[in-house]
Structure 1
Amino acid sequence: MSRRLLSGDVGTALLIVDVQNDFAEGGALGVTGGTAVAEGVTALLRDHRDDYAVVIASRDWHDADSDNGGHIVLEGKPDFVTTWPPHCIAGTHGADYHPAFDTSSVEVEIYKGRGEPAYSAFEGATDDGTSLADVLRQRGIDRVEVVGLATDYCVRASALDALGGGVAVRVRRDLVAGVAEETSAAAVEEMVAAGAEFV
């Protein structure tokens, strides 16, 4: 059963996963609905910022001219399952947040995939090296509401890692978009089976 968050709910963070140009329409790995997610997250923050103790955004941040631990295929064809074309290269337009995503409320940024494969925001860290798990622990966060891209990859991995670390998870159905309908449906089933709530 869903519960409307109370204003100033000290234990809940909003985790915004990879709302970046390369994951929206026209990007290197663009998903249909990426722009709508960016716009929706901005509207959520405009209308409900006080529902969250902290707003956290993750983003892929891969090294240039590197296969990033076999994650990126520099020459040849990726399989689009575990290997991918170059995307979200640090400092490029593709790695930037989508322009429809107003980042003014973001307090913590998590960078993931620096030189290695990474799907979950829990595999990343802030610029000073603080892991997402430590950020949540330091701030007394025991629940995260997850939004972002893509449902069947980084949203899924982040939600499952949160649950595995004892953090309750709520995913906003209206503010996620996936690569494919079948894999997104399977990801939702997996997250629900692991204990995530969808609202």
Structure 2
Amino acid sequence: MTAFAHETVSRTPRYHGAIFDVVSDQVTMSGGGTVNRDVVQAKSAVGVVAIDDMDRVVLIRQYRHAVGGYLWELPAGLRDVTGENLVTGAARELAEEADLNAGRYDLLIDLHTSPGFTDEKIRIFLARDLSEVPAEQRHVRTDEEADLEITWVDLDEALAMISRGEITNAAAVGGLLAAARARDEGWATLRPVETPEP
């Protein structure tokens, strides 16, 4: 079956913000005619599954206003530094949010976080050979990050937390499941960090 070539007939800007824009598109549909689709155009993000020699992963818990509560997540952040390579951005986020450096990075997974309304994507890396950022070099956390909680969890327990509904952040769920699968396959399915995005 040949995929229908959907076309954007018109685009109307609705909102411009620091993190995302919103547009309304008129799009041709395979059933005929056109429909209106509101799209959140996001900066996208990078994230990290950091795993130590004892098979523990680092999780962070921070407040997310949109859901009105705290979520368990991976160290992650926006692609908001001009010209920054994605693995460098991931390393920066790992240092800022979890006080960790990594001696090795591999590409773990690419995700579209919610493609029904946003083009946001996140590239998640696996970080190993971990060491602590020296105290005097640590990032000063503010805003939602000011009371950020950092914890180490056995990878299999993290999977159980997903099954119990304790981890619901999409990037964390995808990244942890992918890390467990990669571990179970002896890390053979990991990709180089330079792999082009889909």
| Rg larger in structure | 2
Please identify which structure carries the higher strand content. Answer: 2
Task: Normalising by structure 2, report the TM-score.
Answer: 0.25
Provide TM-score, normalisation by structure 1. Answer: 0.25
